[in-house]
Amino acid sequence: MISNINGFTVFSIVLFVFVLVSVANGVRIVPQGEEWIVQRLGKYRTTLLPGLRFTIPYVDVISYKVTTKDIILDVQEQEVITRDNAVIVVNAIAFIKVTDPVKAVYGVEDYAEGIRNMIMTTLRSIVGDMELDQALSSRDMIKARLKAGVADEALDWGLTVKSVEIQDIKPSPSMQRAMELQASAERERKAMVTRAEGEKQSMILTAEARLESAKRDAVAQVTLAEASSQAIRKVNSAFGDNELPMLYLLGEKYISSLGRIAESDNAKLVLLPADLQSTLRGLFQRVNKTGPA
């Protein structure tokens, strides 16, 4: 009798524990921002939305817990070759949201990794069609094309690509060194061109100055020659046939020139012409002959 009572008590306790565990397994509280995928005997049964939900214990199994909040995917840095064979380094970040949990868990093994690899592949394709300068200066265009290229595939996986941002796009270290050398060579070339242009302009201005100086010298010589010619004509007209005044003027200039030579600081020795005395004698004889007349 006592053994039967003890056996019934143990059975009751086991049954109570079993019922309690079963109820606990059948009652589910889904937090806000998540949706749970329920499988029954290995097959999709339903999706539990946030709140208090009930399932059949031991038959229904929570196979996936999918977050419906925005997911931030960091796309790792990668090297991409542009159309002109330049190597640049690009990395991006994507913001996605699960809109259909069933497609997200059953359409792809790992939707986060799938989107990340798709972004990397699409990014290589987009940048590969661009020149280096265009790729470095077209972030907005790359972003728009990248989002459009990924969005359609993401819909098949129950995902919405809200935004794709290019975090950084820059030449690779080797390409940076090559660009620095190219920029330095370009600056040196421009400096050489500038110096050559300056020298050219200087030579042109110098030649123009010499030409102008020569023209002015020629004009001055012509002017002096004309002045001398006019002076000679006036002297000739003033003296007429009498050559004595002309000889007197020439003798005076002759003696004045000798005086300036003698007064020069550089003159150590003054040489007088051998015919100086005969010239003066002849001049004075002409003066004497003319005077009494």
| Residue 15 lies in domain | 2-67
**166 and 210 co-located in one domain:** no
pLDDT score of 260 more than 80: no
- The contacts found for 271-279 with CB under 8 angstroms, 24 or more apart, are 279/251, 279/254
Residue 120, domain CATH: 3.30.479.30
Domain ends where: 67, 85, 110? Answer: 67
**83 and 155 co-located in one domain:** yes
**165 and 188 co-located in one domain:** no
The three-class DSSP label of residue 265 is coil
Q: Indicate the average pLDDT of the chain.
A: 79
Report yes or no: 80 and 169 within 8 Å, Cβ to Cβ: no
**157 and 185 co-located in one domain:** no
Q: How far are the Cα atoms of 113, 122, 166, 178 from residue 81, in angstroms, in the given order?
A: 23, 13, 16, 15
pLDDT of 3-40, one tens digit each? 656 666 776 777 777 777 777 777 888 899 899 999 98
Give me the number of domains the chain comprises: 4
**156 and 93 co-located in one domain:** yes
Domain ends where: 171, 200, 231? Answer: 171
pTM score? 0.55
**Chain centroid offset of residue 290 CA:** 97
Which pLDDT does position 85 carry in this prediction? 84
pLDDT score of 62 more than 80: yes
Domain ends where: 215, 239, 263? Answer: 239
